Structure 1
Amino acid sequence: MADPARVLDLGRRRYAPVLALQRALHAAVAEGRAPETWLVVEHEPVITLGRNAKTSNLLVSSGLLAARGVDVVEVERGGDVTYHGPGQIVVYPIRKLPRFREIVPLVGAIENAVIDTLRQFGIEAQRRAEHRGVYVGGDAICAVGLAVRRMTSMHGLALNVTTALDYDRLITPCGTPEFGITSIAAQTCRDVARDDVRDALLESLAGGFGVTYACDVLAPGAPLPFPANTSLELA
């Protein structure tokens, strides 16, 4: 029987409170106080800087970014510079790993689930061993960046659904100037419903990881459900 996992669809949120929720859930899952949890979210515009981020890949000053309403946040995931914003589906799997060597297969399983999802929308995509993520030809459609601490994962994937594709004017996405960027909408030349992509993606992830989901969709503006026994305030 597949192991149960909780899915929380947070809707559209700013990045900072969701990062705080991730970290609180990570501690709770690592300590056995909470079940495996997958967060689904659409972020307000934000640029995240991974552990290997190069400042040269940030193409606009922090002052100009702030004036445009784009947050900049340093995070503990691997990788370089990544943009999140409206029109993306972001998924953060917070799950205990049975063995440390499961990290690379975890990334591969995420990429395979995204590729399977895209195929359902008529899009053929590929992995690249030298640059993690999912690509359609020479264009990135999904970024993947994880952190694993205390044998528990956090951070995850960002899939472009109807994302505005001019964010490469702000950053060099993932530090790879040789690749462009694309989205499901750009590839299919039609409007794509976020919930349709979310459902297909979650189904592919469930199959790839052998889990079943108990889903909970938060109403717009509802407080984030921080785990018990944490000092974090609801945001």
Structure 2
Amino acid sequence: MELEERRASLDIRRLPGLTPYAEAWELQRELVRKRRADEIPDTLLLLEHPPVYTVGRAARDASNLGMGEEYLRSLGAEVFWSDRGGDATFHGPGQLVAYPILRLRVRDTHGYLRDLEEVVIRVLADYGLEGRRHPRYTGVWVGERKICAIGVKFSSGWIASHGFALNVSTDLSWFDRITPCGIREYGVTSLEQELGHEVPLAGVEERVRERFPEVLFRPPTRSR
């Protein structure tokens, strides 16, 4: 019954237009506070950012930011040092970003990351693509190319925030200016690049809306 109730009460919000990263960050902080106090149900934010490079807690320095923050800003992108997990990545138009603000029902942070990967793998399957996990790196891959980056934060009360970024029609040249996620040996891809035709972001969003509760609120299993 609890899973059914959480699925039914899930609040999915699509933020309009392009949401600046700082604005989304502050919104997440406020929602985390409210979720911890049980003032709101589990919430899933879906949005796009204007061009922005973010660096997570796994980064020890700015070495993965290519020619540096000043150069990246000269290209028209913002640069933020974030409190999420992971290293450097890019967000921009044509990329569907999902920020779940929810209380973990099982205190298993690695399992939660696998669940987020599973959501994306199922979305890719809806488009006839075989998404896979990498044995060393968090995220989702198509062949040897990364299509979705994941970086999360866990706050007191086992509240999760941040989430995943799925490249749909993203201009992948932005990734050429950095070392995405600190991974030098593999490339980056998008749904449109893999399928060879236009992919409406709204359609991908609808599939995420379906797959997210299907995965996150399914009965627990003994092994993943």
Asked if Structure 1 and Structure 2 have the same fold, meaning a TM-score greater than 0.5 normalized by the shorter chain, the answer is: yes
What is the distance in 2 between the residues matched to 1:127 and 1:146?
17
Aligned counterpart, 2:25: 19
What is the distance in 2 between the residues matched to 1:170 and 1:180?
12
What is the distance in 2 between the residues matched to 1:120 and 1:205?
13
20 and 143 in structure 1: CA distance in 2 versus 1, 3 angstrom threshold: same
Task: Name which structure has the greater RCO, CA cutoff 8 Å, separation 6+.
Answer: 1
120 and 99 in structure 1: CA distance in 2 versus 1, 3 angstrom threshold: closer
Aligned counterpart, 2:87: 80
Aligned counterpart, 1:107: 113
Equivalent runs, 1:147-226 vs 2, <5 Å: 147-150=153-156, 151-210=158-217
Aligned counterpart, 2:14: 9
Aligned counterpart, 2:128: 122
Name the aligned partner's letter for residue 190 of structure 1. Answer: H
Aligned counterpart, 2:103: 96
Gaps of 5+ in 1: 212-235
Name the aligned partner's letter for residue 9 of structure 1. Answer: R
What is the root-mean-square deviation of aligned Cα atoms in Å?
1.2
Tell me the secondary structure at the aligned position of residue 63 of structure 2.
Answer: helix
Deviation by residue 1:183-203 (Cα, 9 ceiling, x = unmatched): 000011010011100111221
Q: CA deviation at 1:144?
A: 0.7
Gaps of 5+ in 2: 219-224
Q: CA deviation at 1:129?
A: 3.1
Deviation by residue 1:5-61 (Cα, 9 ceiling, x = unmatched): 101100321111111001111111112122111110100011111001141100032
Percent identity reads: 36
Tell me the secondary structure at the aligned position of residue 127 of structure 1.
Answer: coil
Name the aligned partner's letter for residue 163 of structure 1. Answer: T
Aligned counterpart, 1:46: 52
What is the distance in 2 between the residues matched to 1:61 and 1:75?
16
Runs of 4+ in 1 over 6 A off after TM superposition: none
What is the distance in 2 between the residues matched to 1:202 and 1:183?
19
Query: Is the 2:58–2:86 Cα contact (8 Å) retained in structure 1?
Result: yes
Name the aligned partner's letter for residue 112 of structure 2. Answer: L
